[in-house]
């Protein structure tokens, strides 16, 4: 996945290439980090899928008497380890995307505040959806 964006700072910061609001992280570095995390996440997803299939076959072999339960346990242990790595990598990807989004203008806090205020007021969005 390639990220394309147009820099815009909500702080009015003149430093487009090196935003001090993110500890001086260059936008290019943030894009690279998001790309790298995406590649790792995709690779780990393929590994998890392969290990799920291996676990299924190990269980079938055990149920039909071709192998010991130790092979099933080993397959499940490998699958769990891969799933854990995948979850950690997804967390890294989400953090990289949030940092990139914040560096290029962000704005979800302002929108969230608007939505919360609209829902809290009489006749707001939340009350309208409850009436239906």
Q: Phi first, then psi: give them for residue 57, nearest 5 degrees.
A: -70, -40
Instruction: Express each pLDDT in 77-108 by its tens digit.
Output: 999 999 999 999 888 888 888 877 777 676 55
Q: What angle do CA 17, 19, 25 make, to 5 degrees?
A: 85
Q: Give me the residue spans of the domains in the chain.
A: 23-131
pTM of the model: 0.59
26 strand-pairing partners:
18
Q: Which residues contact 49 (CB under 8 A, 6 or more apart)?
A: none
3-state secondary structure of 7: coil
Range ranked top by mean pLDDT from 1-5, 14-18, 35-39: 35-39
Residue 78 CB neighbours (<10 A): 16
Instruction: Express each pLDDT in 41-80 by its tens digit.
Output: 899 999 999 999 999 999 999 999 999 999 999 999 999 9
Residue 89 CB neighbours (<10 A): 19
Give residue 20's pLDDT. Answer: 54
């Amino acid at each position: 996945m390639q990220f394309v964006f147009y820099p815009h700072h909500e702080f009015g910061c003149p430093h487009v290439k090196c935003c001090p609001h993110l500890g001086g992280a260059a936008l290019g570095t943030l894009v690279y980090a998001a790309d790298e995390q995406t590649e790792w996440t995709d690779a780990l997803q393929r590994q998890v899928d392969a290990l799920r299939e291996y676990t299924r076959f190990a269980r079938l072999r055990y149920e039909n008497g071709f192998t010991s339960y130790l092979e099933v346990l080993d397959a499940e242990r490998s699958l769990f380890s891969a799933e854990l790595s995948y979850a950690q990598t997804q967390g890294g990807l989400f953090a990289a995307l949030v940092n990139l989004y914040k560096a290029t203008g962000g704005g979800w806090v302002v929108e969230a505040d608007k939505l919360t205020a609209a829902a809290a007021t009489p006749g707001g969005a939340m009350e309208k959806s409850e009436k239906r």
